């Protein structure tokens, strides 16, 4: 029985490399050798679009190489203060593992000062006892000198289509889905570059909506969903800004489902509620770039700067929209 609150990408997340979909044999051979020896012989950067398995692969490496949590440093805030803490930690000898690991998720969000600290010696000073693992959706945002400090750079922007098909086929059968394998093959052929996360997300939506049947003609990608969410957010704010009637504005704020923005608001909430794996980083970045009212922009920036993708849910984005609606209602244009 499917738990509707459990996304397939989490439920079927590979715990070993046997179930991980590599995009080429070179990457697979390197990772296999690291796991066999229990050590990684250089800093590793994984980059590519969301949903391609960057975090999954790093967690597999950590799970097999780190023997005690005291040998692992997870950077969470990516602040200069945390980098200063890292300076004191990185030189220590590992306790039970063959080397320490520093894991930096979304390394592109490091401040410029923090990037400078890393590239100016910290990553290379303790290469015998400490390895840096990092992931990013936006490699071009990294300082070129910092990028060069990584011995291995895995671009995960594509998948081996046959391996991807086999893994999805296995998951659908485990979930007892009603689907046509030939249609699945065509769908994977046309959409493999979206990655496993996006594809599984859409298959699960179809599975739930159609009583375990996969209707391939209904499937859309996460990119289209995120574009729709961004568009609706902006349409709602612009609609309110155009209003001159204060009563209509208050109705939008306190009773949005019974106001002039009702249809857009309902569509916005429905999209958020029915999709498990939205790339909030992309959503917030695009909203910030396109929203006009300064107070509203500042609200979105505040949410964006404090968000943690692992804890962020659709409710936070709805809360952000509510504050933005309130700011738009107060605006006198």
Report pLDDT digits (tens) over 166-205.
989 999 999 999 999 999 999 998 888 777 888 888 898 8
Angstrom distance (rounded) from CA 241 to CA 39: 57
Q: Which two structure tokens, joined as six digits, stand for 62?
A: 């950590």
Question: Hey, what's the torsion of the CAs at 71, 72, 75, 80, to 10 degrees?
Answer: 10
CB 85 within 8 A of CB 77: no
**Whole-number Å distance between alpha carbons of 234 and 226:** 12
To the nearest 10°, the Cα dihedral for 226, 139, 320, 268? Answer: 0
pTM: 0.63
pLDDT score, position 5: 53
Cα-Cα-Cα-Cα dihedral sign, residues 294, 295, 296, 297: positive
CA distances from 284 to 227, 239, 309 (A): 11, 19, 11
Q: Mean pLDDT across the stretch 131-158?
A: 90
Identify the pLDDT of residue 237: 93
Starting at the edge strand found earlier in the chain, the sheet holding 130-136 runs: 72-75, 100-105, 130-136, 44-47, 152-155
195/277 Cα distance (integer angstroms) = 12
Of the candidates 63, 41, 68, 38, the one whose C-alpha atom is nearest the C-alpha of residue 127 is 41
Query: What pLDDT digit, counting tens, does each position of 80-119 carry?
Result: 778 888 888 988 999 999 999 999 988 988 888 888 888 8
Q: How confident is the model at residue 121 (pLDDT cuts 50, 70, 90)?
A: confident
Q: Residue 140: how many CB atoms within 10 A of its CB?
A: 9
For 241-300, write each residue's pLDDT tens digit.
989 898 999 999 999 999 999 988 988 887 787 666 677 888 888 899 899 888 899 999
């Amino acid at each position: 029985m499917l738990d509707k609150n459990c996304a397939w990408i989490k439920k079927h997340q590979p715990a070993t490399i046997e179930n991980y979909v590599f995009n080429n044999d070179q990457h697979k051979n390197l990772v296999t050798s690291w796991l066999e020896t229990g050590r990684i012989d250089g800093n590793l950067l994984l980059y590519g679009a969301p949903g391609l398995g960057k975090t999954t692969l790093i967690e597999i490496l950590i799970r097999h190489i780190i023997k005690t949590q005291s040998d692992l440093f997870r950077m969470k805030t990516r602040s200069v203060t945390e980098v200063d803490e890292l300076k004191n930690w990185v030189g220590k000898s590992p306790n039970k593992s063959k080397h320490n690991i520093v894991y930096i998720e979304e390394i592109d969000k490091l401040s410029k000062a923090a990037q400078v600290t890393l590239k100016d010696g910290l990553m290379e000073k303790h290469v015998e006892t400490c390895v840096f693992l990092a992931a990013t959706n936006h490699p071009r945002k990294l300082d070129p000198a910092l990028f060069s400090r990584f011995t291995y750079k895995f671009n995960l922007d594509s998948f081996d289509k046959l391996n991807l098909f086999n893994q999805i086929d296995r998951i659908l059968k485990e979930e007892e889905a009603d689907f046509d394998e030939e249609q699945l093959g065509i769908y994977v052929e046309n959409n493999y570059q979206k990655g496993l996360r996006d594809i599984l997300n859409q298959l699960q939506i179809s599975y739930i909506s159609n009583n375990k049947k996969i209707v391939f003609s209904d499937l859309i990608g996460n990119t289209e969903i995120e574009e729709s969410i961004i568009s609706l957010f902006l349409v709602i704010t612009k609609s309110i800004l155009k209003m001159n009637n204060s009563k209509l504005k208050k109705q939008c704020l306190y009773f949005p489902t019974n106001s002039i923005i009702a249809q857009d608001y309902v569509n916005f909430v429905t999209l958020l509620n029915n999709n498990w794996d939205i790339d909030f980083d992309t959503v917030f970045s695009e909203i910030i770039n396109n929203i006009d009212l300064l107070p509203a922009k500042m609200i979105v920036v505040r949410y964006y700067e404090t968000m943690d993708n692992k804890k962020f849910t659709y409710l936070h984005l709805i809360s952000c929209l509510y504050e933005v609606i309130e700011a738009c209602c107060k605006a006198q244009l």
